[in-house]
């Protein structure tokens, strides 16, 4: 299979949408001649022109609000928020409008809007640019929340969401853009709400998503050197959430560790742990353990930042504690 970067996979997904559907247009800050803050839309301005690639003012509320209106009018907008941190400036448009219009109109209007944004820390861009809010959006009925961790998933999931009639938050991790992976060239799609077992194992289940799914695989390789076989589950979407795959795995391994980058208090990992406790309690030989970011704003200092974000060693240690309890 061809190998491409995560950035290239997202760019291909956007090009396919623009080429195959004249109702699609892109809108966001610096996505035009500059090529996007993360170079995803490099060359798009010249290829598609300003009618399809709309360089917007620095106003997230305007970007999302205009996207909601365009979607209600029959277009298929794909809007970019430079980072998920800036979504705070468009929460009313996302949560009170995009997520609720279809329900509150009795299905008279739909909002086929895709909001692309970038999450996570590790890039040394300080506290207000390094947050992970995907769990917030997953708590909102009416939204779909997609968190691909590989180039294959980014392309396959995007092909699925661009056909939906409901708003989607499509969340890309800042440190994944340069990662490589095999991507089938057969026009495949990946359904929402279907997690993937990325590594089979018999001793413990590690559940994660986004970049932490890759960190969990690194931890599993470290543990394998000690004879511990960890099964790793990449959720791929948070809403809808595939609890069945998690439960089936825990029924086999009898232990679970949940990994997320956001801080633990109020984090989405608590929802995962709760569902495992409710649905797989009789199979658990130890409490569900959680690994999450530290309860601090992400530091600008590189050494402190690395301490604040979970890594493979922290995940591996949590697994050891779960097994040796």
Catalytic residues, by residue number, are 60, 129
β-pairing verdict for 3-5 and 180-182: antiparallel
Q: Which two tokens stand for residue 183?
A: 């991507």
Name every residue whose Cβ is closer than 8 Å to that of residue 259 and which is 6 or more positions away in sequence.
206, 207, 208, 212, 215, 216, 269, 290, 291, 292, 310, 315, 318
What is the Rg, in whole angstroms, of the alpha carbon atoms belonging to the chain?
A: 20
| Alpha-carbon distances, residue 263 vs 7, 212, 260, 289, 301 (angstroms) | 26, 13, 8, 14, 18
Q: Which two tokens stand for residue 201?
A: 């194992």
d(CA 227, CA 115): 43
Of 276, 157, 259, nearest in space to 211 by CA? 259
d(CA 178, CA 151): 10
SS3 of 238-261: the string is EECCCHHHHHHHHHHHCCEEEEEE
């Amino acid at each position: 299979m061809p190998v491409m970067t995560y950035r290239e996979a997202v760019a291909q997904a956007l090009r396919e949408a623009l080429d195959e559907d004249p109702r699609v247009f892109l809108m966001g800050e610096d996505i035009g001649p500059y090529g996007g803050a993360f170079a995803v839309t490099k060359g798009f301005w010249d290829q598609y022109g300003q009618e399809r690639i709309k360089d917007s003012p620095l106003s997230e509320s305007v970007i999302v609000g205009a996207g909601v209106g365009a979607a209600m009018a029959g277009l298929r907008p794909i809007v970019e928020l430079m980072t998920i941190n800036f979504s705070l400036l468009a929460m009313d448009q996302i949560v009170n409008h995009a997520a609720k219009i279809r329900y509150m109109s009795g299905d008279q209007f739909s909002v086929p809007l895709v909001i692309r944004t970038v999450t996570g820390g590790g890039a040394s861009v300080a506290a207000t640019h390094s947050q992970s809010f995907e769990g917030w959006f997953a708590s909102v009925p009416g939204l779909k929340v997609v968190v691909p961790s590989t180039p294959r998933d980014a392309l396959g999931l995007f092909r699925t969401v661009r056909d939906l009639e409901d708003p989607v938050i499509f969340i890309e991790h800042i440190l994944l853009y340069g990662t490589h992976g095999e991507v089938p060239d057969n026009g495949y799609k990946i359904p929402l709400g279907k997690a993937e077992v990325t590594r089979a194992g018999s001793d413990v289940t590690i559940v994660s998503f986004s970049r932490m799914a890759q960190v969990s695989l690194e931890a599993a390789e470290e543990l394998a050197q000690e004879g511990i076989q960890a099964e790793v589950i990449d959720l791929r979407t948070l809403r809808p959430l595939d609890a069945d795959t998690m439960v089936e795995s825990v029924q086999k391994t009898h232990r679970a560790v949940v990994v997320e980058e956001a801080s633990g208090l109020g984090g989405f990992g608590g929802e995962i742990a709760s569902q495992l406790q409710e649905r797989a309690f009789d199979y658990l030989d130890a409490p569900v353990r959680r690994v999450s970011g530290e309860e601090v704003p992400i530091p600008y200092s590189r050494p402190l930042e690395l301490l604040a974000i979970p890594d493979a060693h922290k995940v591996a240690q949590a697994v050891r504690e779960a097994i040796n309890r």
